[in-house]
Structure 1
Amino acid sequence: MRVTQGTFSFLPDLTDEQINKQLAYIVSKGFSANVEYTDDPHPRNSYWELWGLPLFDVKDASAVMYEISSCRKAKPNYYIKVNAFDNTRGIESCVLSFIVNRPINEPGFLLQRQDFEGRTMKYSLHSYATEKPEGARY
């Protein structure tokens, strides 16, 4: 099952050239960027691990690409994404987010259904990845 989170999630994976173009757009708009990674891509897991420090006032997209490459080398079987933040209104608003790396095998999710009184059904998602300990999921 392919995890779909972020701006380009329903498109095929971006090539490095396409990623560079998106990074150039981020830099041209004056946005700040950061690189995050996780081995638990549950849709409600909005707190991924931060790679390095946020990249404020970056003037060249290659600086962000360098951080992506470093994260890919250290975490090759993790989900890695780039976030761009716009602080022009005095707050950090995420304006762009996209996945730049994913594991070869994406185990997917189990949809759990629970029956309650009055024919009420409640659903929840369980990530197959979390059945293994952190760091050994992929």
Structure 2
Amino acid sequence: MSAMQDYKSSLADVTSRKFETFSYLPEMDAERIRKQVEYIVSKGWNPAIEHTEPENAFDHYWYMWKLPMFGETDIDTILAEAEACHKAHPNNHVRLIGFDNYAQSKGAEMVIFRGNPV
């Protein structure tokens, strides 16, 4: 049996915390983030952007960046909103969400920018 990898993560060290499945993978570059947005759009899901301070990332509620982008299919528009949120809140985590209308739930959710605790 292969050895399991232990991820050094703790509540005390906000920079070590893991979120969603993608946080256990290498950090996504712009091209990979774009592919995730393309996937969300291809499924017909509604994209949304949220953000929060790193120390509050495990709270139940993140701040909404504007309203969800209902029906938005332009990849560049979605990415521009994510960048605008990150620029407006450089110390906050920013996550991308794809809301699935039919399942009435999130079809995708991932942190695409990690903030730095102040």
Give the TM-score of the pair, scaled to structure 2.
Answer: 0.80
Q: Structure 2: any 5+ residue segments left out of the alignment? A: 1-14
- In structure 1, the residue matched to 2:71 is 57
Name 1:15's counterpart in structure 2.
29
Match of 1:98 among 88, 106, 110: 110
Unaligned runs of at least 5 residues, structure 1: 106-137
Deviations 1:88-136 (A, max 9, x none): 24x2x0111101111245xxxxxxxxxxxxxxxxxxxxxxxxxxxxxxx
Give the helix-richer structure, 1 or 2.
2
TM-superposition CA deviations, 1:59-103 (whole Å, max 9, x none): 2211110111101111111111011110124x2x01111011112
The SS at the match of 2:38 is helix
Are 1:27 and 2:27 an aligned pair? no
Runs of at least 4 residues off by over 2 Å: 40-43
Structure 2 residue 5 is matched with structure 1 residue 5: no
Letter in 2 for 1:98: M
Instruction: Tell me if structure 1 keeps the 8 A contact 2:94–2:115.
Output: no
Q: TM-score, normalised by structure 1?
A: 0.69
- CA–CA separation in structure 1 for the residues paired with 2:67 and 2:40: 17
Counterpart Cα distance in 1 of 2:38 and 2:85 = 19
Structure 1 residue 46, shift from structure 2 partner = 2.2
Larger strand proportion, structure 1 or 2? 1
Identity, in percent, stands at: 34
